[in-house]
Each structure stands twice: as structure tokens, then as C-alpha cells.
Structure 1
Amino acid sequence: MAWIYLLVAGGFEVFGVSMIHSLNKARNWRSIGMISLGFGGSFLFLTLAMQTLPMSTAYALWTGIGASGGAVLGMLRYGEARDLRRILYIVMILGAAVGLKLVA
């Protein structure tokens, strides 16, 4: 169950990053509330995952999911460059996350 919590935490993290983009476009209370929901949910589920998983593994995977998810979201939704090198490095981040899961 901890791994599911960690994936949900990563999803909330990506959502929070997306809402930062929204806040930069329209500074209003709705955007601030959505950012709070995203990062609050992210920290909540990260905390739940860390009850079972080692802190080093959980944090590394959480940041990897957030970083790669944010980069993919930027490419798919906000028109950021889809350079082969960027995609390679995202795959490397995800590969490292899988490696950590295999040894945890």
C-alpha cells in the first residue's frame, strides 16, 4: 500500500506544479487553493508512504515522480521542447526510481 501512497503523492505533486503555472496566469484565490490542495495532498500521501518505506527511498521516488511528471506535463500541455535528450533524462530518472524499488 505504501507504493500506491507514493504514486498518489507524486500525482498530487505534479498537480501542484501545474497549479503554479495557473497561478502565474491568474492570481486569484482559486489558484492558491488548488496549489494548497496539490501540495497538501502530496505531503499527506508522502507521510503515509514513509510510515512503511525508508525515508531515503520514499523521498527519492517522490522527487523523481514530481520532476519527471512536471517535465512531461510541460511538454504535453504547455508546449515545452520535446528534445530527445530531455526524454532520455526523464527515462533515466524513472529507471533510477524503478531501481530503488527493486532494492527497497
Structure 2
Amino acid sequence: MEWIALIFAGLFEMFGVAMMNQLNIERNWQSFVLLVIGFAGSFLLLSFALKTLPMGTAYAIWTGIGASGGAILGMLFYGESKDWKRVFFIAMVLSAAVGLKLVS
């Protein structure tokens, strides 16, 4: 259950980052409220996961999902570069997160 919470924490982190970018593009209260919901949900689920998972592993996976997911969202929805090197390094981050799961 903690691993599921951790994955969802990372997904909420991705959502929060996307809403941060959206708020930068279009300043309105809806984007701000969604940003707060995204990060609040992320921290809440991360704190739940940290009750049983090792902090270093959980934090690395959470940031890996958030950072790589944010980069992927940027490529898909905000016109950021889709250079093969960028995709390769995002895949490395995700592979490292999976590797931490396998050894934990």
C-alpha cells in the first residue's frame, strides 16, 4: 500500500509542477488552487509512505517520478525539446527509481 501511495505522491507532484507552469502562463485562481491541491496531495501521500519505507528510497523515487514526469509533461504539452538525449536521461532516472524499488 505504501508503494502505491508513493507512486500517487509522485503523480500529484507531476500535477503540481504542471499547474505551476500553467499558473506562470495564465494567472488565475483555478490554476493556483489546483497547484496547492497537487502539492498538498503529494506531501500527504509521501508522508504516509514514509511511515514504512526508507526515507532515502522513498524520496529518490518521489523526486524521480516528479522530475521525469514534469519533463515528459513539458515535452508533451508545452513544446519543450524532445531530443533523444533528453529522453535517454529521463529513462535513466526512471530506471534508477525502478532499481531502488527492486533492491528495497
Q: Could you tell me the TM-score, scaled by structure 1's length?
A: 0.97
Moved over 2 A (4+): none
Structure 1 equivalent of residue 4 of structure 2: 4
Deviation at 1:32, TM superposition (A): 1.2
Q: Deviations over 1:52-103 (max 9, x none)?
A: 1011000000000001000111111111111000011011001110111111
Give the Cα–Cα distance (whole angstroms) in 1 for the partners of residues 67 and 28 of structure 2. Answer: 25
**Do structure 1's residue 98 and structure 2's residue 93 form an aligned pair?**
no
Give the Cα–Cα distance (whole angstroms) in 1 for the partners of residues 12 and 76 of structure 2. Answer: 17
Give the Cα–Cα distance (whole angstroms) in 2 for the partners of residues 68 and 26 of structure 1. Answer: 23
Give the Cα–Cα distance (whole angstroms) in 2 for the partners of residues 89 and 64 of structure 1. Answer: 11
**Do structure 1's residue 68 and structure 2's residue 68 form an aligned pair?**
yes
Q: What runs of 5+ residues in structure 1 fail to find an aligned partner? A: none
Structure 2 equivalent of residue 54 of structure 1: 54
Paired-residue identity, %: 62
- Does the residue aligned with 2:81 lie in a helix, a strand or coil? coil
Q: What runs of 5+ residues in structure 2 fail to find an aligned partner? A: none
Q: Give the CA RMSD over aligned residues.
A: 0.7
Give the Cα–Cα distance (whole angstroms) in 2 for the partners of residues 81 and 26 of structure 1. Answer: 22
Q: Could you tell me the TM-score, scaled by structure 2's length?
A: 0.97
Q: How many matched pairs?
A: 104
Structure 2 equivalent of residue 38 of structure 1: 38
Give the Cα–Cα distance (whole angstroms) in 2 for the partners of residues 47 and 5 of structure 1. Answer: 9
